[in-house]
Amino acid sequence: MITPVPGPLTQPIVDRDVRYLATGTKGSPVAVKWGRGVRFEDVDGNLYLDFTNGMVAGTGHCHPKVVKAIQEQAEKFLFFNGPDFYYEIQGLIAEQLCQLAPGAHDKKVFLSNSGAEANEAAIKLTRSGTNRKQFIAFLGAFHGRTMGALSLTGSKVVQRESFFPMLPGVTHLPFAYCYRCAYGMKEETCGMWCAHILEDLYFQRLIPAEEVAAVFMEPQQGEGGYVVPPKAFVQAIQAICRKYGILFVADEVQAGFGKTGRLFAIEHFDVVPDIINLGKAIASGLPLGATIFRSELDFPKQGRHSNTYGGNPIAVAAALATIEAIKEEKMLENARERGASFKEGLQRLQGEFEPIGDVRGLGLMLAIELVLDRESKIPAKEMRDKVIDLCCERGLLLLPCGTSAIRFTPAIVVTREEIDLGLEILRGAIRDAMKT
């Protein structure tokens, strides 16, 4: 690091952004000049490790195979009227996704531009495919910000306030967040009450099960805190879905495409969903969403659902190259191995620092949750923010999640040395944040 953060060349970029861009979710004042793998340089010449970008550019910044595929496609055609006519790579990516996704059933794909749009398509498919109108989602879930997807989102009030009314018929249940069980139970003895409550109470007192079209679930919650539910929870929810003819939708927009060490996060739970939604990492940073669904749910008529840019040729070329790179470079293995050693490193820090209340996550989708003390578990939000700021000043870019957690989602090409360096910076930042 050669300047303070923000540096003199970054500051005007931040200022212009604040002046002219709609208020969004921006955090650390960092402006990128170029990026490769998990490293990038900011406009002031500071070099960083990026432990945030893996959830989108899963193969790392500017993976050479992805860049080449984009360049080659850009030479051929940038856009062709995909909704109305044909080009080969749209069918090819859909075919590959159907073959790769869990389950031997026939599948089809709706291609879109974002995670929210993938969820919107799933809302329509499940409504029209079941002729039912209600949905179940979970507290802590993030499914996007368009009105349909937002109705399913239950992560933070700020995301919903002032936008009511939402889509009617969405009921949120507490998620299996065992570190902070909403029912005050212990995983060893709870019998997965947080799943069975759906059948035993909600379907008896509140919602007719036969009116529920779908349950939407993130196999590992993202924005809500990188919460991994027990396998028994996910399986119990799916069993209830099967019993009542309810569709199970896995929103893998954040957890999918390799980050958890499996191509699809739901594979960790031995559950075959009826629909899988993808976004973010699927095209290594280009806008692409995909809704992979049982063929029998397909829209019965031309014109019921479509869009302009979904499956645009540049993003699709990037997605095909992404799949190839993940396979050829054994990135899933890397996510598993590097993820395991990263998690061990975080657990060592937990042994050293009282405020690390919980270490969790699958593969390279990891988090620590900071608390004032381990007994009360009061979220240490200020300390969490301080740690992120200190890491940023020292060249490690991080993002928060949940109430007081920090997420670590480096690209799945990250090396052992990069993880060790990241852990060292994190260690110093927690130590110093505890002094203030």
Nearest partner of 429 among 382, 393, 380, judged by Cα: 393
Pairing of the two strands 39-42 and 32-36: antiparallel
Start-to-end C-alpha separation, the chain: 22
- Site map (CB under 6 A) of ligand PLP, residues 268-297, x = contact: -----------x------------------
Q: Does 361 bind ligand PLP (CB under 6 A)?
A: no
Q: Which CB sits closer to ligand PLP, 110 or 193?
A: 110
| Contact call for residue 114 and ligand PLP (CB under 6 A) | yes
Packed helices 313-328 and 88-100: angle between N→C axes, nearest 10 degrees: 40
Tell me how far, at minimum, the Cβ of 251 lies from ligand PLP, in Å.
Answer: 5
Shortest distance in whole angstroms from residue 386 CB to ligand PLP: 24
Q: Which of 50, 251, 358, 369 binds ligand PLP (CB under 6 A)?
A: 251
Which CB atom, from 10 or from 409, has the smaller least distance to ligand PLP?
A: 409
Measured at CB, which residue is nearest to ligand PLP? 115
x/- letters, 182..221, toward ligand PLP (CB under 6 A): ------------------------------------x---
Of 37-45, 125-133, 138-146, 380-388: span binding ligand PLP (CB under 6 A): 138-146
CA 91 to chain centre: 25
DSSP letters for 26-64: --S---EEEEEBTEEEETTS-EEEESSGGGTSTT-BT-H
- Residue 381, token pair as written in the block: 């939000």
Long-range contacts of 344-349 (CB under 8 A, 24+ apart): 345/419, 345/420, 345/423, 346/408, 346/423, 349/423, 349/426, 349/427, 349/430
Which residues are bridge partners to 349 per DSSP?
Answer: none
365 lies in the binding site for ligand PLP (CB under 6 A) = no
Q: How far is the CB of 434 from ligand PLP (least distance, A)?
A: 30
Give yes or no for residue 312 binding ligand PLP (CB under 6 A): no
**At closest approach, how far in Å is the CB of 220 from ligand PLP?**
9
3-state DSSP percent of the chain in helix, strand and coil, to 5: 40, 15, 40
Nearer Cβ to ligand PLP (37/287): 287
**Total of residues contacting ligand PLP (CB under 6 A):** 14
353 residue type, one letter: F
Q: Which of 115, 261, 310, 363 binds ligand PLP (CB under 6 A)?
A: 115
Near ligand PLP by CB under 6 A: residue from 140, 144, 395, 402: 144
- Backbone phi and psi for residue 342, each to the nearest 5 degrees, phi listed first: -65, -45
Q: Is residue 126 part of the contact set for ligand PLP (CB under 6 A)?
A: no
Give CA–CA dist 403/384, Å, rounded: 9
Residue 254 touching ligand PLP (CB under 6 A): yes
Residue-wise DSSP of 349-402: HHHH-TTEEEEEEETTEEEEEEBS-TTT--B-HHHHHHHHHHHHHTTEE-EEET
**Where do contacts with ligand PLP occur on this chain (CB under 6 A)?**
114-116, 119, 142-144, 218, 222-223, 251, 253-254, 279
